[in-house]
Amino acid sequence: MNVDLITGIPGQTEEMVRSDVTSALDFGADHFSVYSLTVEEHTALKQALDADVRRMPPPERQDGLWFAARDAIVAAGFEWYEISNFALPGRRSEHNLGYWRLEPYLGLGPGGVSIFAAAGPALAAACPTRLADGARLDPAEASRAAAAP
């Protein structure tokens, strides 16, 4: 079972994050995706923030909440294998790894995006990835790294 966990929610505490992780583990989670909340225009949350009804935690607090989730998940025996993904040994998401490997996929519905095999090499050449230290990484190298055991 995969659990998507959002951190940085107004009013959220590190204890709440740890409790959410514990609850998910109690239900049998074997994979987590952890994301920081992003506020989008034209949403009820954005309106509440603009009206000063709600306040986002400051950036350093948002980071602390994300790291609290990471620490609790890793302490439970999960490996951190992608930017936002954690899995028990042998339970990595092949679906997610396909994106890193630039494998073709079909997206349907409003806003659906597809990538087909013929675009793979051209896409890899056109979309270099920037690493945390500012260096650039060719997506083909990223997908080879993602495929490595």
68: pLDDT strictly greater than 50: yes
Based on the structure, what is the number of domains in the chain? 2
Regarding whether 56 and 30 lie in a shared domain, the answer is: yes
Taking the C-alpha atoms of residue 24 and residue 4, their distance in angstroms, rounded to an integer, is 10
Regarding whether 86 and 136 lie in a shared domain, the answer is: no
Q: Which residues contact 144 (CB under 8 A, 6 or more apart)?
A: none
Residues forming beta bridges with residue 10, ordered by sequence position: none
> What was the pLDDT predicted at 144?
54
Spatial CA neighbour of 115 closest among 124, 126, 102: 102
Do 129 and 99 form a contact (C-beta atoms < 8 A)? Answer: no
> What was the pLDDT predicted at 131?
47
Regarding whether 103 and 86 lie in a shared domain, the answer is: no
- In order of 28, 49, 50, 56, the CA distances from 33 in angstroms are 15, 25, 28, 21
127: pLDDT strictly greater than 70: no
State pTM to two decimals: 0.69
The type of residue at 57 is P
Residues forming beta bridges with residue 137, ordered by sequence position: 129
Q: Which helix (H) or strand (E) holds 25?
A: helix 14-26
Point out the least confidently predicted range of 29-33, 87-91, 144-148.
144-148
Which domain-ending residue is among 74, 92, 110?
92
The range of the structural domain enclosing residue 108 comes to 95-147
Regarding whether 60 and 9 lie in a shared domain, the answer is: yes
Regarding whether 32 and 101 lie in a shared domain, the answer is: no
Task: Name the more confident of 84 and 122.
Answer: 84
Taking the C-alpha atoms of residue 122 and residue 31, their distance in angstroms, rounded to an integer, is 32
For the chain, report the end-to-end CA distance as a whole number of angstroms. Answer: 22
Regarding whether 138 and 76 lie in a shared domain, the answer is: no
